[in-house]
């Protein structure tokens, strides 16, 4: 601001002279023109006429006014247009003050002429008082990195990486296994086209293979995530591959000479390996891999990798056999490196629920022919490749296959949620099994078949097939160490007919559930992200599902909950879309961020403690400083500060205080209570506005002030309001658990509890300060609450501070 006090232009917008019918606008103009610093005071009947805004523009260019107060009713679009028009003559968008008569119940036109005029004058005065305090603000830009770290190279991670590369961003893909692909690479077919996932992965790899923007870190895991959005510093640790990825041409000569044979894949997917050596699928799948083998689960990168732990002492046959001298078996230590990234994307995926925990139920790990659904996928892919595996091990080549759904899911003792993909997966497996072995007789034991969307059609198709039997009920499998050669017999009650069913099977597939991956839980721990009750990543599922509590870290795919491959890809795409804004090279931050007044701050650190996004740090002098790239501008720090030292720009405590001060002179009769309502802009204010739009009978007693979050209301403001004789203060926030800023409404409840105690000692009724939670559609409830509140305030009598 210059040395001159700001000059204000007051414009009352009255389209169609509807306002003039309610309020005596000439009286308003006369009164307002006398207020200091009001230079221009006009009624504009048609603001959208061409000359109207031009006149305003000219007034500005003549340097007569530099703050503008608009009185009337405006939509957000209209505000934007007016701001843009005046930006042409250099008026900062933050120098407009909007006095919304609709919101302040005046446009409804209910009440006597005198009160309407009084209230109009009051709210205009409030707007003028605030306008005098307005400051021009510009968004700030922070430098940022343009690379991104994607943790987990499953199908979600690969698709996200591909989206980033298409936008020209540098991607660091961190994968704990030796190759990409994750769980999808283990599948035999995937939805909805039932094609081979190897082909799907190959397709997305086409983008990645030819790009120099991709850095793939295999056998790696993140150790630490420091910093904030735009400038994360991610430490990753990589285990040695013992094969030079640049030199290796993937010829496979090394594998041929390797003396070690390892069973394929099982140890990769099961954290708790369920099988003893001789039993189960270990015997079913004949294919083995050597200690030096191509990357698993999908051979990208094309380089081989050595499992050094299983190498025999002193063996270096592969080293000798390698034609390109790519193998180096000398002892190597894990390497650590730091990556600077603008955003981090966690696509850490899922792990199969350990079915060995179900051995009480279904005999997994005890019967040779009881397998999990992921193993079934492997089995099917082996068979479709043409290997002559006896599908049904115990009886040579029987043909009866059973599937038990919800094995471990939807069970309070195991996974209490539905894993959402197993029903369709079983349908898919049966379909493929029928093409490979048309004579197979399948029985599905289910609780409910949950085939969502188009998958229902596949289910119906299968249901009409005569040799697939669907039984609603859970079978019993004799579990505790059956003697060798026992037939697999299932006893079950068909809950539709109520009759017991006894079935002999040759193979039993348990449709095990999805649990969050161990790597995901570890990542959450090291990056400080909250997990939900089921250990998936927490997020606001409707409003910003892919965003986490730490700005700049996004989550996608099955790390957020059970989903199938295509949903996972969609989720990763959305997360990548959200991440792009942190990768622009600069981050633009809205100027409405909090500012700490160091002259007032006494370093009590309450803001550091209470900030929902943990964005306050102490600077070298011990004063708190918000990290603007983390800050979501909720204003909870402004509300919590005991010495009123923190204000968010454009809604400073000073700006609010001067508005409240105007209310000292009541616009109503002495007996009529005046209520000041601070409403959260996300929910409560919208509910109030819609009450007005619906024409509900909102009492005249209330003055609305919008705040970004109920938690932004400082107790000093309430004290201000009470001490000038306002009868009641309402603080409206979201319902518990729905706050967009995590816990703003809880913070305000706690604070108003403290204030209530204080009021009690001051012999003031503590009910004069009320906090309410309001959902966005509860316009009618809001009016009821207001009416009840006015009644109770009337019963209490006028505020003891009222003059």
Partner 1 sequence: MPPRVDLTKCDGCKAQDEPLCEQVCPGNLMTLNENSQAMCRESSDCWDCMSCTKVYPVGAIETRVPYQIGYHGAKLIPMVGTNSITWTSIDINDKVERFRCKTRND
Partner 2 sequence: MTEPLQIHQPRSGSEGHSDIFDCVQCGYCSAYCKVSFISEDSPRKVIRFLQQDDIDKAVKSSFVTLCKQCQTCTWMCPQGIDVAGIMRHLVRHHFINY
Interface residues with partner 1 (CB under 8 A)?
602-606, 609, 642-644, 653-654, 656-657, 661, 714, 716-717, 719-720, 722-724, 754-755, 757-758, 761-764, 800-801
- For the chain, how long is the longest CA-to-CA vector? 102
Backbone angles phi and psi of 287, in degrees to 5: -65, 135
The entry of partner 2, partner 1, none near residue 642 (CB within 5 to 8 angstroms by kind) is partner 1
Residue 475: name its binding partner from partner 1, partner 2, none (Cβ under 5 to 8 Å by kind). partner 2
Q: What are phi and psi of 345, to 5 degrees?
A: -115, 120
Sign of CA dihedral 194, 198, 199, 200: positive
**CB 754 to partner 1: min, Å:** 5
Nearer to partner 1, 87 or 762 (CB): 762
Q: Of 591 and 725, which CB lies nearer to partner 1 in the complex structure?
A: 725
- Per partner kind, with CB cut-offs from 5 to 8 A, the member of partner 1, partner 2, none near residue 741 is none
Which is closer to partner 1, CB of 175 or CB of 610? 610
Tell the smallest beta-carbon distance from residue 755 to partner 2 (Å).
34
Which residue has 């006095």 as its token pair? 99
Minimum separation from the CB atom of position 151 to partner 2 (A): 32
Q: How many CA atoms lie within 13 A of 104 on its CB side?
A: 26
**Residue closer to partner 1, measured from CB, 368 or 764:** 764
Q: Which does 716 bind (CB under 5 to 8 A by kind): partner 1, partner 2, none?
A: partner 1
Cα–Cα distance for residue pair 11/403, rounded to 1 Å: 74
Give the nearest distance from C-beta 771 to partner 1 in angstroms: 17
To partner 1, the closest distance from the beta carbon of 616 in angstroms equals 13
DSSP assigned state of 730: E
Token match 């283990």: residue? 186
Binder of residue 361, out of partner 2, partner 1, none (CB less than 5 to 8 A by kind):
partner 2
The site partner of 99 among partner 2, partner 1, none (C-beta below 5 to 8 Å per kind) is none
CA angle at 296 for the pair 292 and 297, rounded to the nearest 5°: 160
Among partner 2, partner 1, none, the one that 491 touches (CB under a kind-dependent 5 to 8 A) is: partner 2
Q: Any idea what DSSP says for residue 94?
A: G
Give all strands of the β-sheet with 488-494 in edge-to-edge order.
Answer: 476-477, 488-494, 499-505
- Residue among 472 and 802 whose Cβ is closer to partner 2: 472
Of 415 and 713, CB closest to partner 2 = 415
Q: Which does 720 bind (CB under 5 to 8 A by kind): partner 1, partner 2, none?
A: partner 1
Among partner 2, partner 1, none, the one that 473 touches (CB under a kind-dependent 5 to 8 A) is partner 2
Tokens in use for 410?
Answer: 């939807």
Minimum Å gap between C-beta 610 and partner 1 is 9
Closest CA to 159 of 222, 210, 203, 213: 203
Q: What is the dihedral of CA 227, 230, 233, 238, to 10 degrees?
A: 140
**Minimum Å distance from CB 656 to partner 1?**
8
Q: Which residue, 470 or 801, is less far from partner 1 as judged by CB?
A: 801
Task: Give the nearer residue to partner 1 in terms of CB position, either 648 or 724.
Answer: 724
Tokens of 682: 């996300």
Where is 636: in which H helix or E strand? helix 636-640
What CA–CA distances, in Å, run from 695 to 18, 117, 120?
15, 20, 18
570/614 with CB nearer partner 1 = 614
Instruction: Of 289, 290, 176, 300, give the one whose Cα is nearest residue 250.
Output: 300
Distance (Å) of CA 630 to CA 40, 164, 225, 582: 41, 22, 14, 11
Q: Least Å distance between CB 618 and partner 1? A: 11
Tokens standing for 452?
Answer: 């969502």
Phi and psi dihedrals of 339, rounded to 5?
-120, 135
- Smallest distance from partner 2 to CB 500, Å: 5
Rounded to a whole number of angstroms, the distance between the first and last alpha carbons of the chain is 36
If the CB atoms of residues 181 and 473 are measured against partner 2, the closer one turns out to be 473
Give min distance, CB of 717 to partner 1, in A.
6
* Residue 723 contact, options partner 1, partner 2, none, Cβ 5-8 Å cut-off depending on partner type: partner 1
10 Å CB burial of residue 720 (0-12, 13-18, 19+) is buried
Q: How far is the CB of 684 from partner 1 (least distance, A)?
A: 23
By beta-carbon proximity to partner 1, the closer residue of 661 and 672 is 661
- Binding partner selected for residue 332 from partner 1, partner 2, none, CB under the kind-specific 5 to 8 Å limit: none
Question: CB-wise, 116 or 755, nearer to partner 1?
Answer: 755
Inter-axis angle of helices 779-796 and 684-693, nearest 10: 100
Distance CA 459, CA 466 (A): 13
Residue 404 Cβ, how far from partner 2 at the closest point, in Å? 10
If contact means CB under 5 to 8 A according to the sort of partner, which of partner 2, partner 1, none does residue 757 touch?
Answer: partner 1
Task: Please give the Cα distance from 755 to 751 (Å, whole number).
Answer: 6
Report, in Å, the least distance between residue 80 CB and partner 2.
Answer: 51
787 makes contact, choosing from partner 1, partner 2, none, with CB < 5 to 8 Å by partner type, with: none
- C-beta closer to partner 2: residue 27 or 491: 491
Which tokens hold the place of 224? Answer: 């630490």
With helix as H, strand as E and coil as C, how does 735-797 read? CCCCCCCCCHHHHHHHHHHHHHHHHHHCCCCHHHEEEEECCCCCHHHHHHHHHHHHHHHHHHC
User: Which residues make up the interface to partner 2 (CB under 8 A)?
Assistant: 360-361, 406, 410-414, 447, 472-476, 491-495, 498, 500
Report the alpha-carbon distance of residue 581 to residue 751 in Å, rounded: 36
**Least distance to partner 2, CB of residue 490, Å:** 8
Instruction: Residue 406: name its binding partner from partner 1, partner 2, none (Cβ under 5 to 8 Å by kind).
Output: partner 2
Smaller CB separation from partner 1, 380 or 724: 724
- CA quadruple 193, 199, 203, 204: dihedral positive or negative? positive
Identify the bridge partners of residue 621 per DSSP, sorted by sequence position.
none
SS3 57: helix
- Region for 574 from its dihedrals, namely left if φ exceeds 0, alpha if ψ lies in -120 to 50, beta otherwise: alpha
């Amino acid at each position: 601001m210059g040395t001159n006090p700001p000059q204000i232009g007051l414009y009352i917008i009255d389209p169609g002279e509807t306002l003039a019918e309610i309020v005596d606008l000439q009286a308003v103009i006369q009164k307002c023109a006398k207020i200091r610093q009001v230079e221009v005071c006009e009624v504009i009947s048609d603001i959208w006429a061409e000359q109207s805004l031009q006149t305003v523009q000219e007034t500005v260019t003549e340097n007569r006014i530099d703050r503008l107060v608009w009185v009337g009713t405006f939509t957000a679009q209209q505000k934007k247009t007016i701001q843009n028009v005046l930006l042409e003559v250099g008026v900062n968008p933050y120098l407009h003050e909007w006095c919304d008569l609709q919101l302040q119940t005046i446009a409804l036109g209910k009440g006597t002429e005198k009160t309407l005029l009084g209230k109009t004058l009051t709210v205009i005065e409030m707007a003028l008082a605030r306008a005098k305090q307005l400051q021009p603000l510009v968004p700030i830009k922070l430098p940022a990195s343009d690379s991104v770290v994607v943790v987990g190279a499953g199908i979600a991670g690969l698709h996200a990486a591909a989206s980033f590369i298409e936008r020209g961003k540098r991607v660091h893909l961190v994968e704990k296994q030796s190759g990409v692909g994750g769980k999808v690479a283990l599948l035999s077919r995937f939805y909805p086209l039932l094609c081979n996932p190897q082909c799907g992965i190959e397709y997305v790899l086409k983008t990645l293979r030819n790009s120099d923007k991709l850095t793939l870190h295999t056998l790696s895991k993140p150790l630490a995530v420091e910093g904030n959005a735009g400038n994360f510093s991610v430490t990753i640790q990589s285990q040695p591959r013992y094969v030079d990825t640049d030199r290796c041409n993937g010829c496979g000569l090394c594998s041929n000479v390797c003396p070690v044979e390892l069973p394929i894949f099982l140890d990769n997917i099961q954290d708790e390996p369920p099988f003893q050596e001789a039993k189960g699928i270990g015997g079913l799948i004949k294919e083995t891999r050597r200690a030096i083998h191509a990357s698993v689960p999908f051979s990208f990168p094309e380089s081989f990798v050595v499992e050094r732990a299983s190498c025999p002492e002193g063996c270096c046959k592969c080293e000798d056999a390698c034609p390109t001298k790519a193998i180096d078996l000398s002892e190597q230590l894990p390497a650590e490196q730091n990556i600077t990234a603008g955003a981090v994307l966690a696509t850490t995926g899922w792990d199969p629920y350990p079915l060995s925990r179900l051995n009480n139920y279904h005999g997994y790990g005890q019967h040779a022919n009881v397998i999990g659904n992921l193993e079934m996928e492997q089995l099917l892919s082996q068979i479709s490749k043409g290997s002559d595996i006896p599908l049904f091990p115990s009886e040579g080549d029987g043909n009866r296959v059973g599937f038990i759904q919800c094995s471990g899911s939807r069970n309070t003792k195991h996974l209490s949620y539905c894993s959402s993909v197993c029903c369709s997966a079983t349908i898919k497996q049966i379909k493929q099994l029928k093409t490979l072995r048309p004579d197979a007789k399948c029985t599905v034991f289910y609780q409910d078949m949950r085939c969502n969307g188009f998958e229902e059609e596949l289910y119906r198709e299968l249901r009409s097939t005569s040799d697939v039997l669907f039984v609603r009920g859970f079978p019993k499998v004799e579990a505790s160490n059956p003697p060798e050669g026992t037939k697999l017999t299932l006893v079950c009650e068909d809950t539709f007919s109520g009759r017991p069913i006894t079935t002999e099977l040759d193979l039993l597939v348990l449709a095990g559930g999805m649990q969050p991956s161990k790597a995901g839980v570890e990542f959450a721990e090291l990056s400080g992200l909250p997990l939900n009750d089921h250990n998936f990543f927490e997020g606001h599922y409707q409003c910003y599902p892919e965003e986490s509590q730490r700005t700049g870290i996004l989550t996608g795919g099955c790390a957020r909950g059970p989903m199938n491959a295509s949903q996972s890809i969609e989720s990763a795409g959305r997360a990548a879309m959200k991440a792009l804004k942190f990768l622009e090279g600069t981050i633009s931050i809205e100027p409405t961020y909090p500012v700490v007044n160091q002259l007032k701050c006494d370093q009590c650190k309450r803001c550091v403690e209470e900030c929902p996004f943990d964005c306050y740090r102490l600077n070298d002098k011990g004063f708190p400083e918000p990290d603007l790239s983390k800050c979501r501008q909720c204003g909870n720090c402004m509300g919590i500060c005991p010495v009123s030292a923190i204000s968010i720009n454009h809604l400073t405590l000073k700006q609010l205080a001067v508005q409240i001060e105007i209310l000292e002179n009541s616009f109503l009769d002495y007996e009529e209570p005046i209520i000041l309502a601070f409403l959260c802009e996300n929910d409560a204010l919208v509910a109030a506005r819609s009450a007005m739009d619906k024409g509900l009978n909102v009492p005249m007693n209330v003055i609305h002030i919008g705040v970004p979050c109920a938690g932004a209301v400082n107790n000093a403001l309430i004290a201000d309001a009470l001490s000038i004789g306002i009868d009641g203060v309402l603080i409206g926030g979201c319902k518990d658990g729905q706050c967009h800023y995590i816990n703003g409404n809880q913070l305000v409840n706690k604070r108003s509890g403290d204030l209530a105690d204080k009021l009690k000692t001051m012999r003031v009724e503590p009910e004069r300060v009320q906090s309410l939670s309001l959902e966005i559609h509860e316009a009618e409830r809001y009016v009821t609450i207001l009416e009840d509140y006015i009644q109770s305030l009337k019963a209490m009598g006028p505020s003891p501070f009222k003059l």
